[in-house]
Amino acid sequence: MTQNRRDFLKGAGVGVAPMLLPQAARGANDSIAFGLIGAGGRGRGVTSNFKERGARCLAVADIYEPNLENGLNAAGAGATPYTDFRRLLERKDIDAVLIGTPDHQHAPMLFEALKAGKDVYLEKPMSYSIEQGVQMIKAVRATDRIVQIGMQRRSSPSVLACKRLIDEGLLGSIYLSRVQWFWNTSRPLNNSPLPGKVDWDQFLGSAKKVQLEPMRFRNWRVFWDYSGGNMTDQGTHLMDVVQWFTGAGTPRAAACLGFVYGMTGAETPDCFSATFEYPNMMATWTLNYNNSYQNGWTIFFHGNQGTMMLDNDGFRIYQEPFQKNPTPVYEFKGPISTQAHVDNFLDCVKTRKQPNAPVEVGHTAVCGPHLANVAWRKKREVKLSADATTVS
């Protein structure tokens, strides 16, 4: 390893951030007005990131009474409540919307927001299916709207610094990527009555009509009617990094095994392992929400000249051959930043430049996880067309 590369990384902790965002991200007098659609925990959290940059939340829409009340508190004084998001979209004084609803509502709400002429920050995963993702790209590209998918690693200094070093070839040829997420959070689902009114018909939207079960609302992410489970929820973030760093494109094939272990009542597995085939490499994506060993997420890149470990604390690079108790040849400390990603979106709303995670990125990021879910259901390997539009 050369000295100039060492010097680069030593300075990256203080020198990378100014290179990542347009100058407008520092000191701009933001006056963007936005509305929040879906005021659950994530929606409220990202609202605080919008407000940190001076954006004003004028309205909040949610179909669950306690979420709406909490969303108004997060928005601040003067925000107007709505139980129908379409009424929020009718307002001419709102420039952009933040959509933090369940996955099955992402496409319908995006389409309505585009028709209303709004720019959109849409939480991941972008789509409910591969076919739907193709439709979403076409809809956005038929307009001049700015749409950012909430994949914050695309704007995080630690991840961008990591990619630079991979682009320099420090790992050599990468032939294997391993992705994992371990938490001990699985518990039987809570089906006790909801403390507050919910518009169940609005929640269902185009999903299958079923009677209200509180656990389906509380834990919508673990039911196939509303989500791709943790496969797409967490996998969108991590598999995107794999494909982005390696330039591998979308996978050609996937296989998956998994089951529900601790989350009694859930449909989507809380323990699984998927394998993806790419033209020049392979990747694995393993999740276990019943064990906290190596707690959190980690991405490993294995090359013929070294190994990189990327996680929520930063990244480390180990040179080949790997030694017992090795010292990293490079190390970067720094967490994932949602604020940087929101800053990028707000800058693009003003400049009309494309954001760091446009819909094309959102689609390719979730294609692999969607493919793995199909493989899990079919209990066999499935293939994805080269243009990432159809599954066989």
Per-residue pLDDT band at 27 (split at 50, 70, 90): very low
Q: Does the pLDDT value for residue 329 go beyond 70?
A: yes
Q: Does the pLDDT value for residue 387 go beyond 90?
A: yes
Average pLDDT over residues 227-243: 98
Structure tokens at 73: 């508190």
Comparing 22 with 323, the larger pLDDT belongs to: 323
Q: What is the pLDDT of residue 15?
A: 30
Comparing 323 with 81, the larger pLDDT belongs to: 81
* Cis bond before residue 251 (omega within 30° of 0): no
Which pLDDT tens digit goes with each residue over 243-279?
A: 999 999 999 999 999 999 999 999 999 999 999 999 9
CB 35 within 8 A of CB 58: yes
- Residue 362's SS3 state is helix
Average pLDDT over residues 339-349: 98
Instruction: Kindly give the residue spans of alpha helices, DSSP state H, lying in 152-305.
Output: 157-167, 200-204, 214-218, 229-246
CB 16 within 8 A of CB 337: no
For residue 177, the cross-strand partners are: 283, 301
Distance CA 76, CA 264 (A): 38
Q: What is the pLDDT of residue 31?
A: 87
Q: What is the pLDDT of residue 30?
A: 54
Q: Does the pLDDT value for residue 133 go beyond 70?
A: yes
Q: Does the pLDDT value for residue 20 go beyond 70?
A: no
Q: Does the pLDDT value for residue 350 go beyond 90?
A: yes
CB 33 within 8 A of CB 95: yes
Distance CA 301, CA 131 (A): 30
| CB within 8 Å of 9: residues ≥ 6 apart | 161, 165, 330, 331, 332
List of domains in the chain: 21-151 (3.40.50.720), 154-335+359-383 (3.30.360.10)
Lowest-pLDDT choice from 9-13, 46-50, 383-387: 9-13
Cβ burial 241-280 (10 Å sphere, 16+ → b, else e): bbbbbbebebbebbbbebebebbebbebbbbbbbbbebee
What amino acid is encoded at 384 in this protein?
L
Q: What is the pLDDT of residue 6?
A: 41
Which pLDDT tens digit goes with each residue over 64-105?
A: 999 999 999 999 999 999 999 999 999 999 999 999 999 999
Q: Does the pLDDT value for residue 1 go beyond 60?
A: no
Per-residue pLDDT band at 325 (split at 50, 70, 90): confident
Q: Which of 173, 366, 363, 177 is nearest to 275 (CA)?
A: 177
CB 121 within 8 A of CB 46: yes
For residue 149, the cross-strand partners are: 122
pTM, full prediction: 0.91
| CB within 8 Å of 179: residues ≥ 6 apart | 235, 238, 239, 242, 283, 284, 285, 286, 297, 298, 299, 300
Q: Does the pLDDT value for residue 12 go beyond 90?
A: no
Q: What is the pLDDT of residue 9?
A: 36
Which pLDDT tens digit goes with each residue over 194-230?
A: 999 999 999 999 999 999 999 999 999 999 999 999 9
Q: What is the mean pLDDT of the chain?
A: 92
* Tokens 């203080």 belong to residue: 14
Q: What is the pLDDT of residue 26?
A: 33
